[in-house]
Amino acid sequence: MQDSSPSIPMLGDNFPELNVQTTHGPLNLPADMKGSWFVLFSHPADFTPVCTTEFFAFQKRYNDFEKLGCKLIGLSVDQVFSHIKWTQWIKENLDIEIQFPIVAANDTVASALGMLHPKKGANTVRAVFVVDPESKVRLVLYYPQEVGRNVDEILRAVEALQVSDKQGAMSAGWPNNELIGDQVIIPPATDEKTAQERLQQGSCYDWWFCYKPLEK
């Protein structure tokens, strides 16, 4: 029996090569984003209320993503002219201009990213891919059509990934964790000698749970 499950890029995989048309012209992914973080997020359809609230939220935080060196890219299976008309409607009625490109994806593109789920019809689900400057997939989220995304969480996740790459592991809710605030978790020791030394070197609940101040 043939597996009909959608293909989903896994964490650490190279983002699949896609040549797409967008509201800003042709885009080759991930090549055109090489050297930059980017967030690609799909939405079920243009001119729908939940998607409109999401695009408004992403655009309101556009500068915050830019400060992190992270580009935004929207996507659905609607055609480019529909995307253009929708962004015009958003500007005219909600007084905000969408500054990031929106991909007009065909079924091949949507399937390559696991965005077409069984029993959800022809629309794409609400997928989020965070990709690093080396074109590696670092975070994947899938939301149903009925639930809008928390854009602040996506922004937080990008920043947490960037800090983690340089300093250590990030706590739940970082930078506002209930136990250690914005401090960075030190990777647990893997031998007895280091475990004993760790308790003398910094703040610890135990040898396997030590943390250090965030480097600004």
d(CA 105, CA 96): 24
Which residue in this structure is represented by tokens 């009909």? 4
Strand order in the sheet with 184-186: 184-186, 209-212, 203-206
Query: What torsion, rounded to 10 degrees, do the Cα atoms 147, 148, 152, 153 define?
Result: 30
Is position 70 annotated as part of the catalytic site?
Answer: no
What Rg, from alpha-carbon coordinates, does the chain have? 20
Q: Which residues contact 44 (CB under 8 A, 6 or more apart)?
A: 50, 51, 76, 123, 124, 125, 126, 145
Q: Using CA atoms, how far apart are residues 153 and 91, in angstroms rounded to an integer?
A: 25
Active site amino acids: 51
